[in-house]
């Protein structure tokens, strides 16, 4: 088993799945629930793993951290996770992106932890399409700043993360290109596939076909 890093991993599972028409967290991708797939990747390298979202029904998969805010989107899950984090760093990943490589997440975590000694407070990934703020790492000490940003009316996750930046400690926020952490230089098509959210039944069919074709 790989060495564990001082990271508390959280799967963001608070969405309403309105476009899917079914519960995405429990939706099966190649015979396994999406939430189980996301948790398995985090368990490979995180000291602690939990689910962020008001989903008591998912407690059989991992401990569930309940959000204190309503209708604030994934930012509420970030805040709840930071409050519950048992490690200095918390990593957040969405429940509905089954193709992103787990090893890529580990290498990113290793890099952020190394940079954290220089004052980094948060990081999120960049793909072909730009920012992927739902894939983020945040230092536990930034929880007050995240809460303050939500209180100020910010709801978009990348706005909340970028607003962590300030003039005092834990203020360095940096977007990191995922290509740096891939085992091999990925094509733009591969990256697009890795970060496709499964929002509709059609999306599910597409990512399952891609997974089969890559074997």
Q: What is the pLDDT of residue 21?
A: 41
- What is the average pLDDT value for the chain, to the nearest integer? 87
Highest-pLDDT range among 1-5, 39-43, 50-54, 192-196: 39-43
Q: What is the pLDDT of residue 19?
A: 45
Question: Are 172 and 195 within 8 A, CB to CB?
Answer: no
pLDDT in tens, 69-107: 888 889 999 999 999 999 999 999 999 999 999 999 999
Domain ranges of the chain: 5-213
Per the structure block, which two tokens stand in for 143? 């929880």
Q: Which residue has the tokens 């998969």?
A: 61
Per the structure block, which two tokens stand in for 62? 């991992």
pLDDT in tens, 130-179: 889 999 999 999 999 999 999 999 888 988 988 887 545 556 788 888 88
pTM (predicted TM-score): 0.91
Both ends of the chain: CA-CA distance in Å? 23
pLDDT in tens, 5-49: 999 999 999 755 444 445 788 988 988 999 999 999 999 999 999
Strands 28-29 and 32-33: antiparallel
> If one looks up domain 5-213 in CATH, what number appears?
3.90.550.10
pLDDT at 127 over 50: yes
Q: What share of the chain is helix, strand, coil (3-state, %, to 5)?
A: 35, 25, 40
Cα gap 5→7, rounded to integer Å: 5
Q: What is the pLDDT of residue 210?
A: 81
Q: Which residue has the tokens 């993360």?
A: 161
pLDDT at 118 over 80: no
Cα gap 174→210, rounded to integer Å: 31
Cα 187–chain centre separation: 22
Cα gap 112→21, rounded to integer Å: 36
């Amino acid at each position: 088993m790989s060495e564990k890093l001082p990271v508390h991993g959280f799967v963001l599972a608070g969405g309403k799945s309105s476009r899917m028409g079914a519960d995405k967290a429990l939706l099966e991708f190649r015979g396994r629930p999406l939430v189980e797939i996301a948790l398995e990747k985090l368990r490979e390298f995180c000291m602690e793993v939990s689910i962020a979202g008001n989903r008591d029904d998912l407690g059989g998969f991992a401990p569930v951290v309940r959000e204190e805010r309503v209708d604030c989107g994934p930012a509420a899950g970030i805040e709840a996770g930071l409050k519950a984090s048992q490690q200095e760093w918390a990593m957040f990943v969405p429940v509905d992106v089954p193709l992103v490589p787990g090893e890529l997440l580990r290498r990113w975590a290793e890099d952020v932890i190394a940079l954290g000694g220089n004052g980094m407070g948060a990081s999120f990934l960049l793909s072909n399409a730009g920012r992927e703020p739902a894939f983020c790492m945040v230092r536990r000490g930034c929880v007050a700043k995240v809460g303050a940003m939500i209180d100020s009316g910010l709801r978009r996750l990348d706005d909340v993360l970028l607003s962590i930046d300030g003039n005092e400690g834990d203020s360095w926020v940096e977007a990191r290109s995922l290509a740096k952490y891939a085992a091999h230089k990925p094509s733009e098509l591969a990256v697009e596939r890795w970060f496709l959210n499964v929002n509709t039944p059609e999306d599910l069919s597409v990512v399952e076909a891609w997974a089969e074709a890559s074997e």
